[in-house]
Chains A and B, each alone.
Chain A
Amino acid sequence: SQTIHQWPATLVQPVGSPLSLECTVEGTSNPNLYWYRQAAGRGLQLLFYSVGIGQISSEVPQNLSASRPQDRQFILSSKKLLLSDSGFYLCAWRRKYYRVPNYGYTFGSGTRLTVV
């Protein structure tokens, strides 16, 4: 079965510090990978998605970046965090070839980031 791991679960970082959130998927190959952010009391905002190694699409211009160094690894980074980067970050994966009708996302457990 497929599983998705995301860490750390919580993170408190000072303004201006770097960030690295990691997400890995097991039990599948060549998945589509996604990073979402959820501000407090808000819906999900798509930040980045990747359809393959080294292929990153950005949905929202910001001081965050993403990388996919391996097929099942997706990393969210920042060189200098801003207060506005606080939020709940969710990694998700989805099948690339749609063999079943309900091909939705499978989400990780999320990282709660507080920038202070």
Chain B
Amino acid sequence: AQKITQTQPGMFVQEKEAVTLDCTYDTSDQSYGLFWYKQPSSGEMIFLIYQGSYDEQNATEGRYSLNFQKARKSANLVISASQLGDSAMYFCAMREPSTGNQFYFGTGTSLTVIP
């Protein structure tokens, strides 16, 4: 089974609108970490936001927030007030202690912000 599932290969959003990128995960660990990375066309992977499995509040970093629903095993990324520079690939990832703190990445969602 896939550890991380991102079901949206591509998404479009109007500039200044909010967008949600979906991510579901699969683990039996009680303690784990969830991450979102942004990969612009230049290729570099940029860390955006982190959510610990025991964190009671959803993580927020500026315009990024993580909608964490533990029972549903989902960790959706919400980008508010989209900007043209947000156009990129977005990857959800999970750190799983039971597998030696290995990271598992989803296949990514390509976000295009339309002016």
Contact = CB atoms under 8 A, between A and B. Distances in A.
Main secondary structure of the interface of B (DSSP, over half): strand
A88 B41 CA distance: 12
Contacts of A110: 43-45
B89 to A, nearest CB: 9
A109 B47 CA distance: 13
Interface stretch (A13-21, A23-31, A71-79, A100-108): A100-108
Interface string B101-115: 011011110000000
Main secondary structure of the interface of A (DSSP, over half): loop
B43 A104 contact: no
Nearest to A49: B102
Interface string A36-47: 000000111010
A66 interface: no
B42 interface: yes
A108 B46 CA distance: 10
A68 interface: no
Contacts of B102: 46
Given A90-B43, A90-B45, A92-B45, 13 more contacts: A42-B108, A43-B105, A43-B106, A43-B107, A43-B108, A44-B105, A46-B102, A102-B33, A103-B95, A104-B50, A105-B103, A107-B46, A110-B43
